[in-house]
Structure 1
Amino acid sequence: MVRIRYAVLIEQAGPRELVSHMVGAERAGFDFSVISDHSFPRLESQGHAPYAWSVLGAAAQATSRIPLATYVTCPTFRYHPAVGAQKAATMQILSQGRFRLGIGSGENLNEHVVGAGRPAAHVRRQMLEESVEIIRRMFTGAYLSHHGAHFDVENARLWDVPDKPPPSGTAISGPRSCALAGRYADLVVATEPKAELLRRFDALGGAGKPRVGQLHVCYDTDRDAAVERAHDQFRWTPGGWKVNAELPGPAGFEQASQRTRPPDVAEAFPGGDDADAFVEAVRPCAEAGFTVVAPVQIGGGHQEPSLDWAEPKLLPALATL
């Protein structure tokens, strides 16, 4: 059976609304809730970018059952890994063990704000691996001094250490990230239903670990309205990860997606209120081997109606998978 996560995008709503959406996801019966950790929206029509970790702290107090996770955090540019460890440990305590730390090598859209430049992909992977090692060592509660190729840590220590460190998940997109995830991650995150990625992850140490996939959806009782909204806010998705990860801001996403038409978006992900169509869209993720799928509802103002529909319609239909 595939477990269903509720994906919260900070670029679609303000902080108070995001907390309300997480509360609604718990009430509706979703298995998990995940939140993006961005500093910019991809298009100006999305219109938001509050601080994900403040939202998570508030959500930890407003909910009692649903696990919470970053999807994903980059602990190499905006956040030094020692700071990332402190944030994750605090969230694990606040949530009483319900937190999961999703990590990845980052997108130019979000990491450019600190002015550190955009190193080559192999350098970013090296930085991520070093940061993961620092975070794992910080979770022990012991003093840590570290002087590596990319990071320095001087006599650092976590003074509030959770009984169990939060499980960590690593985003994968190719052989090297699969190798990193296989060695260090407790679960794996991917944005495309590619079975070959999961096979490689299994071969490199990931066998038996949970694997989380993502799917963009757009609920609306009017399918044409759903397609129009998806085109307005998510027409950048057909560009693919390699392109989207390098674009520096909304203007770049606007230019890159200017030729994407509403029919292209309608073909890319399900829209409307036909639960069976949503099930068929999730099916490739299940068949590829994902154990958890996170549908991303497009449109901040349509989250609560989508939750009201998901509880009696979508979640029971997805249970058939």
Structure 2
Amino acid sequence: MVAVGYTLMGEQSGPKELVDYAIRAEDAGFDQLVASDHYYPWLDAQGHSPYAWSVLGAVAQATSRVELMSFVTCPTRRYHPAVVAQKAATVGLLSDGRFTLGLGAGENLNEHVVGGWPHVQQRHEMLEEALQIIRPLLDGQTISYTGDYFEVPEAYLWDRPEQRVPMAVAASGPSSCDLAAEYADGLIATEPDEKLLRVFDERGGAGKPRYGQVMICYGPDEDECRKIAYDQFRWFGLGWPVNANLPDPDAFASATRQTHVEDVAQGIPCGPDPEAHVAAFKRYVDAGFTHVAVVQIGGPTQPLFLDWARDEFLPRLREL
């Protein structure tokens, strides 16, 4: 059975609200909570971006059953990989082993706050070095590391779970699939791309979990949901190469100036029709994903969505 996740979207809600939604989501019956890790929102209309790791620590204490995951953390610019390993181990302990560390090459939007944004080739090289540091630390090893981008004279994690915190790596092509297959315990993808999963299998990832994420905007009024989706998520259609390089919310606003409400509604199901939302989720199931997290667009709409998910949406998804 595919695990159904709920996304704690820090770009559209504050930290206290996110903890409350996490409690509600666990009570509703979700299997997993995934937390975005941003410094900025994509658009000013979203209006939030708290520190994800503080939220994860609070959620770990406020819940007892649901799995947790960072979705995703960039371990190369804002955070040194040795510090990412320490954070992951701590959340692993606080959650009694319910945490998975999701990692990726990052976005300029969030990482430029500490300096320049490297070329994509350098970003992949930096991510590989970070994985070479993080994994042995989570395994309990004392490491010394010297690479082209990172240096760790000596590091050891004093507090970590008995079972190593599992890692998953975001992939969009063959090179990142290689990294996920070699260093990680699973793959993360934001599109239901069956071909990408086949590449992951061929590179050594067969049998490992695959984590996906689907955007929806549930609500009683379809037109209102379309407006909310356009207001907050019209950037989604730009594609990863563009999203990874735009520096701030103003740039995302400029890049989506020619986008219309209808354009967004074609890619994101909006309104009260459960069939549309189930169909969007099912695309990931059919592609072969083992875990799929739902993004409900619109911060204040979360309680309404979670009640609906408990009573109608989750039972329908279980039937898949």
Distance of 1:30 and 1:241 partners within structure 2 = 28
Letter in 1 for 2:184: A
SS of the equivalent of 1:56 reads helix
SS of the equivalent of 1:235 reads helix
In the alignment, what sits opposite 1:177?
176
Show structure 1 runs of 4+ deviating over 6 A.
Answer: none
In the alignment, what sits opposite 1:167?
166
Letter in 2 for 1:305: L
Distance of 1:234 and 1:103 partners within structure 2 = 22
Deviates more, 1:190-199 or 1:144-153: 144-153
In the alignment, what sits opposite 2:187?
188
SS of the equivalent of 1:215 reads strand
Q: 1:117-153: CA deviations, max 9, x gaps? A: 1211111111101101101111233332211111011
In the alignment, what sits opposite 1:222?
221
1:72 is displaced (CA, Å) by 0.2
Distance of 2:72 and 2:152 partners within structure 1 = 23
**What do you get for the CA RMSD once the two structures are aligned?**
0.9
In the alignment, what sits opposite 2:313?
314
Q: 1:280-312: CA deviations, max 9, x gaps? A: 112221111111111111011111110000011
- Asked whether 1:75 is paired with 2:75, we answer yes
Distance of 1:128 and 1:279 partners within structure 2 = 34
SS of the equivalent of 2:224 reads helix
Q: 1:199-219: CA deviations, max 9, x gaps? A: 000000110111111111001
In the alignment, what sits opposite 2:46?
46
In the alignment, what sits opposite 2:125?
126
1:2 is displaced (CA, Å) by 2.2
The question of whether the paired residues in 2 share the 8 Å contact of 1:276 and 1:317 is answered with no
Q: What pairs up with 1:25-174 in 2 under 5 angstroms?
A: 25-115=25-115, 117-174=116-173
- Asked whether 1:290 is paired with 2:289, we answer yes
1:318 is displaced (CA, Å) by 1.2
- Asked whether 1:231 is paired with 2:230, we answer yes
SS of the equivalent of 1:294 reads strand
Distance of 1:67 and 1:283 partners within structure 2 = 21
- Asked whether 1:20 is paired with 2:11, we answer no
TM-score when normalising by structure 1? 0.98
Distance of 1:139 and 1:173 partners within structure 2 = 25
Distance of 2:182 and 2:142 partners within structure 1 = 24
Runs of at least 5 residues in structure 1 that lack an aligned partner in the other structure: none
The question of whether the paired residues in 2 share the 8 Å contact of 1:6 and 1:295 is answered with yes
Letter in 2 for 1:265: V
In the alignment, what sits opposite 1:271?
270
Letter in 1 for 2:130: S
Letter in 2 for 1:83: V
SS of the equivalent of 1:10 reads coil
Deviates more, 1:276-285 or 1:198-207: 276-285
SS of the equivalent of 2:214 reads strand
Distance of 1:304 and 1:318 partners within structure 2 = 19
Distance of 2:166 and 2:160 partners within structure 1 = 14
Letter in 1 for 2:85: A
Distance of 1:236 and 1:243 partners within structure 2 = 10
Deviates more, 1:304-313 or 1:148-157: 148-157
SS of the equivalent of 1:12 reads coil
In the alignment, what sits opposite 2:298?
299
Distance of 2:86 and 2:4 partners within structure 1 = 28
Distance of 2:140 and 2:316 partners within structure 1 = 44
Runs of at least 5 residues in structure 2 that lack an aligned partner in the other structure: none
Deviates more, 1:247-256 or 1:288-297: 288-297
Distance of 2:32 and 2:255 partners within structure 1 = 32
TM-score when normalising by structure 2? 0.98
1:197 is displaced (CA, Å) by 0.3
- Asked whether 1:199 is paired with 2:224, we answer no
1:277 is displaced (CA, Å) by 1.2
In the alignment, what sits opposite 2:243?
244
